[in-house]
Amino acid sequence: MNGSGQKTRTPPRTGPRRSWDWAPSSSAADAEKEAAARQETGSIAARAAELAAGSRLSAAARPALRDAATRETSYLKMAFANPYNLSLVAGGIALSVLTLNPLPALLTAGLETIWLVNAPGSRLLRRLLWDKRLAAERAAQEHAARAALLAVLPPAERDRVESLYARRAEIEALAAQNPTFTGELLRGELAKTDRLVDAFVDMALTCARYQRYLAGVDPRALERDVERYAADVRKGPEGDPRTAIAQKNLAIVVKRQERMKDIQGYLGVARGQLDLIENSFQLIADQIVTMQSPRELSGQLDELLEGVETIRESARDTEALLDPAGLGEP
């Protein structure tokens, strides 16, 4: 206060503010920290999503990369191991030995290096010499592997599988004649037919195994066992060890009956799906020449794949039920 008793006003600050004058309030600081934390969390989530997408992409591309690496190795092997190349290499080494002169061997080694570096990547040589041979070798290997795999199937089921392979090859040939299917699109859709054929074989093998198992089980004998153990439980005094054993036997036999019903249910659905794949392949072969859009083929194949995956889930559930009881085959 001044001498007259009036309150003195503090003049406004005109100089530069000090650093602590600009310090935000605690609530503002908390808001800034929260915003920074959200931004950091968002960047981490985006990075995780990017990594997950990359992982899925790499997993999807892995089979194609393995196939490409195998093909390159095969081309290199054919470039080296063909009779003409081996004859020239052997001739150069023999000439060097006979003349006691290292120059023919060195020249042969240099020419062989140039050949092995350039020949496997030559499109002309692949198209004229090696692609047909490689395709024939792969077809022979696949046929031998398929024959060994299908040996456990009844003859009628083996004929169904071989017919489906032939139908798949027919679809490939017919699709190549349709101008609406580009090379990349054709390979993508044919990969789906490969998956369907593999699923057909897998389901046929599973059905055959389940049928063999059911053939060794007498349902009437199981029913008689249920009645006998149920009678023992009813007649036996409570607390008697024999009654307790009869209860355990009854529970096991009833569980076996339930498993039989599960297997029979799977067989009914799987057989229907096998018929559906066969009929769909026949329909696709009939339609593919006149298809106006690749989406028509893609839609049919995707629908079949969804049904196959459902059957496979059912098979896995059935296996999970059978194995703990020791009923599944190894």
Q: What is the pLDDT of residue 57?
A: 37
CA–CA separation, 92 and 87 (whole Å): 9
Burial 147-161 (b: 16+ CB within 10 A, else e): eeebeebeeebbebb
Where exactly are the structural domains of the chain? 153-330
pLDDT per position as a tens digit, 28-43: 555 565 665 555 555 5
CA–CA separation, 232 and 5 (whole Å): 113
Q: What is the pLDDT of residue 285?
A: 81
Say if residues 192 and 302 touch (Cβ distance below 8 Å). Answer: yes
Q: What is the pLDDT of residue 224?
A: 93
Q: What is the pLDDT of residue 223?
A: 93
Distance of alpha carbon 322 from the chain centroid? 24
Rounded to two decimals, the pTM is 0.55
Give 10-residue mean pLDDT values along the chain (330 residues): 49 47 49 58 48 40 48 75 84 88 88 84 78 78 78 87 88 77 64 84 88 90 93 88 92 91 88 87 79 70 78 67 48
Distance of alpha carbon 197 from the chain centroid? 13
